[in-house]
Amino acid sequence: MKFQSIILLCLSVLLGSVPVWAAEVTAEQIQLTLPPAIYTVPNSEMSLYFQNSVLYEPASDLKFAVFCDIGHQQADRWIIEPERNQVGMHKLTLTVSDQAGNEIVSASSIVHVAPREAGTGKQLRLLIIGDSLTHATIYPNRIHQLCSRPDNPELSFLGTHKPTSAAEGVAHEGYGGWAWETFLTRYVPAEKSDGTYRTRSSPFVRLDENGKPVVDIQDYINNHCYGVPPDIVVFKLGINDCFRADQQNPDARIDEVLNHADQLISEFRKAAPEALFGICLTTPGNSRDEAFDANYQGKYTRRGWKQIQHRLVQRYIAHFGNRENKRISLIPTETNLDITAGYPDNNAVHPNKAGYEQIGDSIYAWLKFQLTPKKGT
């Protein structure tokens, strides 16, 4: 038996698939990454999927243990549907061990359970800016649905884009293929536009007196928001910005992306000085290799995108974290997404209805926490 094990190990090395019991797994390989905070609301489900928090694959080769005084652990996730008496702040620690039980790395986050009645009756103006995941409009519809229930704020959705899939009252600025940079620079002369979103200018760009395209958020607010700035702006961007980045060294491209993000956020801050900005952590792709094959025929792989996406999340956390005093906050949309059941078989980065609604649930829970009165206020 020992001889057979040695033979199997040698074959695994040759094939590049050394099992976890035969090779030491390091923290650098795992790259455990948790958002600073996870948000939830009583009687609403929220999850932390383990595979989404690590770069190492498959996560089933590792052992995960969650230490938190609320929620419970399942094979692939920690899940909670809190009760009213659990409202408040709870520390969560996730440890990762090898199959022998040797702890390799751990990380912590804070679980905020917001009151169900947070923001009840408060009138808020919400603007969502995004790419094709927003264009699909399923998660904005989900936010609208949740806020239409009792004990919720009254949301007015701002935006010039109202796809046929949008529920009544839902609008946004979400367009397939767009990135942070697109919203800053895209200008299409009227004579070259067919009137659809595919050939339109950025809603935030106009021509100045010299005929040069410029970003003008105040002009957007004046013309499309009745002159009143949004109370909340949610940015869900990053996939198109980085999808074609060098998977082995995406940081150079991410540096450019963060620069574009800072520019757009800065322009919004000038026109909406009191608004709360939520930055969504970029969601992971489908767990199925065949979904990437179906969409990209081998040009872009699932593993390649995971390496880029995981690094982008890390950089977003480092760049935008700890900015609550500037009214900028991270929304952990990457943790609460089932990358298998939340995706169709044949789409790499666009979830199915269940997955989109998980994204909507994350944004809604974040919003409820932001509307929770803080001590001393």
Task: Read off the CATH number of the domain in which 288 is found.
Answer: 3.40.50.1110
Domains of the chain: total: 2
Ordered DSSP codes for 39-78: EE-TTS-EEEEHHHH-SSS-GGGSEEEEE-SSSEE-SSEE
Does the structure show a pLDDT above 50 at 21? no
pLDDT recorded at residue 270: 98
CATH of the domain at 83: 2.60.40.10
3-state secondary structure 4-28: HHHHHHHHHHHHCCCCCCCCCCCHH
- pLDDT, the chain, mean: 93
Residue 75 lies in a domain: yes
Average pLDDT over residues 121-131: 97
Q: What pLDDT does 260 receive? A: 98
- Domain end (from 113, 138, 155): 113
Percentage of the chain modeled with pLDDT above 70: 93
Does 150 share its domain with 222? yes
Question: 189 with 91, same domain?
Answer: no
What does the pLDDT average to over 192-211? 91
Q: According to the model, what pLDDT value does residue 193 have? A: 86
How confident is the model at residue 376, as a pLDDT?
A: 54
Say if strands 123-130 and 173-174 run parallel, antiparallel, or are unpaired.
parallel
pLDDT at 111 over 90: yes
pLDDT at 4 over 80: no
Domain assignment of residue 86, given as a range: 16-113
Q: Which of 187, 177, 168, 143 has its CA nearest to residue 278?
A: 143
Position 330 in a domain: yes
- pLDDT (tens digit, 9 = 90+) per residue, 316-343? 999 999 999 999 999 999 999 999 999 9
Q: What is the pLDDT of residue 197?
A: 82
**Do 366 and 284 belong to one domain?**
yes
pTM: 0.93
135 shares a domain with 227: yes
Question: Residue 344 has which token pair?
Answer: 């169709």
Indicate whether 226 and 341 sit together in one domain.
yes
Residues 103, 226 within the same domain:
no
Spatial separation of the C-alpha atoms in residues 1 and 278, rounded to whole Å:
56
In the chain, which ranges are E strands?
Answer: 37-40, 46-49, 63-67, 72-73, 77-80, 88-97, 103-113, 123-130, 154-158, 173-174, 205-207, 213-215, 232-236, 276-280, 328-331
The reply to whether 9 falls in a domain is no
Sign of CA dihedral 304, 307, 313, 317: negative
Cβ(326)–Cβ(265) under 8 Å? no
Instruction: Provide the pLDDT for residue 23.
Output: 65
Instruction: Assess whether 80 and 155 both reside in one domain.
Output: no
Give the pLDDT confidence score for residue 280 in this predicted structure.
Answer: 98
Q: How many CB atoms lie within 10 A of CB 81?
A: 16
The more confident residue out of 141 and 23 is: 141
Span 34-54, average pLDDT: 97
Cα–Cα dist 235/215, whole Å: 17
Q: Which residues are CB-contacts of 221 (< 8 A; sequence separation ≥ 6)?
A: 227, 228, 229, 230, 271, 272
Residue pLDDT, tens place only, 146-199: 999 999 999 999 999 999 999 999 999 999 999 999 999 999 998 888 878 888
User: pLDDT digit string (tens) for 213-246?
Assistant: 999 999 999 999 999 999 999 999 999 999 999 9
Beta bridge partners of 63: 97
Task: Report whether pLDDT(13) > 60.
Answer: no
- Of 8-17, 100-109, 283-292, least confident by mean pLDDT is 8-17
> pLDDT class for 375, splitting at 50, 70, 90?
confident
Question: Which of 52, 81, 113 marks a domain boundary?
Answer: 113
CA-closest candidate to residue 128, choices 230, 40, 200, 218: 230
**Is there a single domain that holds both residue 188 and residue 82?**
no
Residue 354 has pLDDT above 60, yes or no: yes
